[in-house]
Amino acid sequence: MHILDKIVAAKHREVGLKKLLIPVNQLGKSRLMERDTVSLVKRLSKSKSGIISEHKRRSPSKAAINTSLSVEDVILGYTEAGVSGISVLTDGQFFGGSLDDLILARACTTCPLLRKEFIIDEYQLIEARAHGADVILLIAAILTPDEIRSLSRRASDLDMEVLLEVHDKEELERSLFPEIDMIGVNNRNLKTFEVSVENSLTLSEKIPEGFMKISESGIDSIGTINQLRTFGYEGFLIGEQFMRSEHPGNSARAFIQQLER
């Protein structure tokens, strides 16, 4: 069993337990369910940099990344740096995140927030909305086409945008539905954790018009982003590069300033 299978199995157990403790109608009473969500698509379409930064403490492939910084400091730093959106890891067992991270992030910024999670159930969408998310991630590798369609529609009903993450042509072609807003090409193979930006370049021409293109993982230079832009990408998700620094916000600001020159 590779790591993705382990994560999904653990997620099914986790969501089952949560449903017993906090029913959907209780989640629906959150004051954040009433807030107007912020469009990441609109922010990216107006952005000069297209940077989506990330709060990420650790990962299964590289263990600890940065566990010493407060959520507030990271999110405020990213906001002041001028990022277009912020991804917040909420998986606890494998990435050291939590829904508390998401709700604290929401209290610190007006930027669009993406809940970065292994979503396998509609319950998690309501959780995301109740904790301040504007965008949810759906990973094609762990969902059937019917599940992607159903979850996308529910997210749209909840006034959240959908970022669909794909890794190859087969995942892309079986997963396209009108309710999806953005296609994120993950340059990291979730089975081997090897990274290659060539994956984004190869899949770019396969993504139909009408879906905003996002490139994820392995983006560490201005040259890479400029190359990706020529292939139609408008958003660039960067996590580890910023989080490995002592001041992620300062790292993001310097990168964005260089990019916008």
Residue positions annotated with a catalytic role: 54, 56, 116, 165, 186, 216-217
Q: What angle do CA 167, 168, 169 make, to 5 degrees?
A: 145
Question: Residues 14, 143, 30, 106: what is their CA dihedral angle, to the nearest 10 degrees?
Answer: 100
Neighbours of 203 (CB within 10 A): 22
CA–CA distance, 257 with 91 (Å, rounded to integer): 31
Alpha helix locations (H) across the chain?
3-21, 24-27, 40-46, 71-81, 99-108, 122-130, 145-157, 169-173, 198-203, 222-230, 240-243, 248-259
- DSSP letters, 93-123, are TTT---HHHHHHHHHH--S-EEEES---SHH
CA–CA distance, 144 with 149 (Å, rounded to integer): 9
* Residue at token pair 């337990």: 17
Q: Identity (one letter) of the amino acid at 52? A: I
Q: What angle do CA 152, 111, 51 make, to 5 degrees?
A: 85
Q: What angle do CA 245, 239, 175 make, to 5 degrees?
A: 175
* Residue at token pair 């959780």: 127
